[in-house]
Structure 1
């Protein structure tokens, strides 16, 4: 395979290894992806993004793998990052990105490196999440963890934003060990395809603090589809309006569940951390160029 260049990017700390495979296809085995994703012996990332030629005639196809090597259909923060690269490359203010979850559109923000992505409509029916059994109301399903008479967490809202999400409303997101309960809930039998698990707390009007255990990736500093799912769930049962700010460990995302067409818009920053080169036979890698100036200044 020899050497391949790559980018390391992040959206609010949700970080990605990005390959340009439009001219030279690239497919890596799950164990290789997991080795690269390891934060002690590899490059370290939440998701690996492979940018490929689109068969739908749009700017690019985005293939997404979690750091454990599993492939997933959607990643909102990655869509913003890839959208930024495609817009800069073409000198445009909009980019269309094909994913396994559908066609997504990214738009340049008013501030440098800010990107808005149209995540499409949320899927809210039980069989669209999907769930293993029918629930008439997905705003709060019968699910709990812990003792029956005193559960640790219970009655989550469920939303599919390209990936399945379960949102538990709590008074303090730090009062729970999400690294312990997240893996149990992620693979609960009610979620046949697994689920991203979020703890959410509305602490002011349209202001929601969120912590996420991401399916196949674990605790993450930010998860764009989770932010969208939380905003939709909050609006559905009156906890917030259709515009809200989701505060993740990595920073805030602005979410709008547009009333006119039901689409969810997500706005936030993107960063190129550095450029690199890797020998795919040995997995040895080096940095070849710095990233965005602001990122370099902050690190110095």
Structure 2
């Protein structure tokens, strides 16, 4: 219990010092708006996302349809709101899964025995060398594209990069005097990893989480636009853009407005990552001066 309390206290101390700055505040505000809009889609959407109205085909944005309608008369605003639920959920779960797997593998690569370290390094190298798009094509050719398959693709695409970053930071921290002192005093490798090293990894992991989520929103949109992601009639931002790709010149709103939602959300996450990185760098600089 004491060890667990010390671990939590160490992590909390690191997070408490990551105070808000301007990019972080703006990014969080925009992201909260996007998340609340997606969660409140049943209240905000003027129509069901799959409701077809063949008398209102490809209408431009107006007071009746703020984002216009698509090729079968579906309200684009409703589809963007509901599509945000799918896109953000898929990207969020994919990010959590990739960071969890990447963190475990990275810590094993830093604190495992020689065989484990070598095995982790080789698996990371193989994964980083494998083209993501070919991996997606191979998996979606073998099984029907679905949300679980899309999440799996995101985890496979991103865990290796996270593992390499976690491993590098963990190795850097493990070479410091306080970690060596804990080892001399007889602390186990698990205690050293969780109590002494992981709190130093956590701030960088939070920065990576924001950046990876931004990348995964784009990744989901790309796969859905290529027909390998979320399948109709379930709306997603990439799927909405796919529906409008044949009308880019005549009905600009079909692709540009869901694309704008992707850009705004991704930009907010990048701002969050930049803000947290600035705070992390300042924190490390202060610790280095002490």
Note whether the superposition's TM-score is higher than 0.5. Answer: no
Report the TM-score when normalising by structure 2: 0.25
- The one of the two structures with greater contact order (alpha-carbon pairs below 8 A, sep at least 6) is 2
Larger radius of gyration: 2
Report the TM-score when normalising by structure 1: 0.24
More helix by share: 2
